[in-house]
Amino acid sequence: MKQFRRITYPYLLWILVMICAPMLLILLYAFTIEGNDVASVKFSLSNFARFVSDPVFIDVLLRSLYIALVTTVICVLLGYPLAYFLAKLPERQNVLMILLITMPTWINMLVRTYAWMGILQDNGVINSILGWFGIGPVKMIHTSFAVILGMVYNFIPFMILQIHTSLRKMDKSLLEAASDLGASRAMAFLRVTLPLSMPGVISGITLVFLPAVSSFFIPRLLGGGQFVLVGNVIESQFLTSGDWNFGSAISLIMAIIIILSMWLTRRAEAVSGTERKE
């Protein structure tokens, strides 16, 4: 036991320095306002009041939630059929397809987003192909479509892998039992496969929604600075305006939203698990 504790010391130190300390600083900055010197720093809720009372910031927050929600829904609609198809493949083909899906994630997300900038440009690959048919150029870059497309492309592997894992772990004898009892394929899917895959769906929603709602460089690159989300506001407060107090307050608000989202998804997972047992 003592040896196990000694092994954990470096990890605990890392957590304290790299996670706990920055979070404490964010809390400190969020609930204070700066004066001319250290002694004049005062506790205040004005940073939160500024965010809540300004309709511009509320609009940015709602837009961020909307984009994250749309991205998540698209990832579920596209990811579930693909994960279902992969789960039905033989082992060797399944491993190959999973490798092909995960290979893009080996490249830095920033590089992949830059690649989409070239593809979606007015003189990019897509518009060049459309030009062969006398169509275009179609305005795609610096639009909400480009931002959502970039987010779906970057985050959909997480959705596919989570759903695929749930489907592969599913007991196939349950489908055989449903077939023996006279259930059609559609009915077996709705009553057996879909409920048993819900933990993967919920985990995928968590892994897609949380980074999407706080993303900042995808809207900056594909939105061209004209499509501002809450992540961009936080970045500008820290790096451009130098208002660390207000930036920390927004970060804390987003942290609360993310924690609430995680609690809701876990709650939904617990409810679905209870229904399956019944």
Structural domain contains residue 249: yes
Amino acid residing at 131: G
Domain assignment present for 271:
yes
Kindly report the backbone phi and psi dihedral angles of residue 158, in degrees, each rounded to the nearest multiple of 5, phi listed first.
-65, -40
What element of type H or E holds 43?
strand 42-43
Q: What are φ and ψ of residue 236, in 5° steps?
A: -70, -35
3-state helix, strand, coil in the chain (%, to 5): 80, 0, 20
Is the CA virtual torsion 71, 74, 80, 83 positive or negative? negative
CA pair distance 8, 11, nearest whole angstrom:
5
Q: What is the pLDDT of residues 131-180, one digit of tens each?
A: 888 877 888 888 889 999 999 999 999 999 999 999 988 888 888 888 87
The per-residue pLDDT for range 97-144, each reduced to its tens digit, is 999 999 988 888 889 998 998 898 888 888 888 888 887 788 888 888
CA angle 175, 176, 181 (to 5 degrees): 95
Q: Where are the alpha helices (DSSP H) in 121-193?
A: 125-132, 144-169, 172-180, 185-188
Query: Considering the domain boundaries, does residue 33 fall inside one?
Result: no
Does 3 score more than 70 pLDDT?
Answer: no
pLDDT at position 38 is 56
Q: Please tell me the predicted confidence (pLDDT) of residue 160.
A: 95
Q: pTM of this prediction?
A: 0.86
> Measured between alpha carbons, how far is 22 from 172 in angstroms, rounded to an integer?
47
DSSP state of 240: T
Q: What confidence tier does 186 reach under pLDDT thresholds 50, 70, 90?
A: confident
Structure tokens at 29: 């900055």
Q: What is the pLDDT of residue 77?
A: 96
What's the total number of domains in the chain? 1
The most confident of 62-71, 101-110, 253-262, by mean pLDDT: 62-71
| Banded pLDDT at 274 (limits 50, 70, 90) | low
What type of residue sits at position 61?
L
Separation between Cα atoms, residue 242 and residue 235, nearest integer Å: 10
The domain in which residue 167 lies consists of 44-277
CATH of the domain at 135: 1.10.3720.10
**pLDDT on residue 135:** 79
Distance between CA atoms of residues 103 and 117, nearest Å: 20
User: Does the residue 98 lie in any domain?
Assistant: yes
CA pseudo-torsion sign 88, 89, 95, 100:
negative
The C-alpha angle 240, 60, 227, rounded to 5 degrees, equals 70
Nearest CA-CA partner of 219 in 155, 159, 157, 145? 145
In a domain, 222, yes or no: yes
Q: Which residue type, as a one-letter code, is found at position 67?
A: I
Q: Is residue 6 part of a domain?
A: no
Find where tokens 């779906």 sit: 152
> Is residue 24 one of the residues assigned to a domain?
no
- What pLDDT, on a 0 to 100 scale, did the predictor assign at position 2? 63
Q: Rounded to the nearest 5°, which phi and psi values hold at 140?
A: -120, -40
Note the pLDDT of residue 272.
Answer: 61
pLDDT at 78: 96
Q: pLDDT digit string (tens) for 206-246?
A: 899 989 998 888 998 898 777 788 988 998 888 888 888 89
- Residue 109 is assigned to a structural domain of this protein: yes
Beta bridge partners of 32: 43
* C-alpha to C-alpha distances, 116 to 85, 111, 113, 140, 263, nearest whole angstrom: 27, 9, 5, 11, 33
